[in-house]
Amino acid sequence: MHLREGDVAPDFSLSGMPAGAYHLADQRGKVVVLAFYPGDFTPVCSRQLRHYEDQRQRLVSTGATLWAISTDDLELHERMAKSYALSFPLLSDPAGKVASLYRVRGLLRYSKEELLSLSYRSVDDILNALHDSGLVPPAQ
């Protein structure tokens, strides 16, 4: 089933780095940006996650929370986070179940699929989608 903007997204719980359990239901009423990516240490994904880290404060300033999700295990996530000094959680979805659900609890406000995974959504793209959805105010 493909979710669309305005659909209620399914809840999930995943383990992640920093070590802990991440429950989407705990974020109810908050803006959560889920960045699904194919794998740690792949060229595009490494650039994507470094870009998100470099621009993280712009997302945080809107009140949004960023979680990145891939099928990699926690050990690889830990190495990735340390290698690139990533300060946002990397969640492990080893069986790809959450990726197949494809969304979070709440209303889906923005979706962009990259079929070949040769590019990624920039923080500008994400901020524009958040602003356009009315979830956060436009930048001052």
Q: Is the pLDDT of residue 6 over 90?
A: no
The pLDDT score that the predictor gives to residue 104 is 37
Q: Is the pLDDT of residue 128 over 90?
A: no
Distance CA 127, CA 51 (A): 14
The pLDDT score that the predictor gives to residue 53 is 97
Instruction: With respect to residue 1, please indicate whether it lies within any of the assigned structural domains.
Output: no
Q: Residue 53, Cα to own-chain centre: how many angstroms? A: 12
Instruction: With respect to residue 3, please indicate whether it lies within any of the assigned structural domains.
Output: no
Mean of the per-residue pLDDT values of the chain: 84
Token digits for 66? 């960023």
105 near 65, Cβ under 8 Å?
A: no
Instruction: With respect to residue 88, please indicate whether it lies within any of the assigned structural domains.
Output: yes
Q: Which domain holds residue 116?
A: 8-133
For range 18-43, the mean pLDDT: 90
Domain count for the chain: 1
Query: Model confidence at 126, in pLDDT bands (50, 70, 90)?
Result: confident
Half-sphere exposure of 19 (CA within 13 A, CB side): 1
Instruction: With respect to residue 138, please indicate whether it lies within any of the assigned structural domains.
Output: no
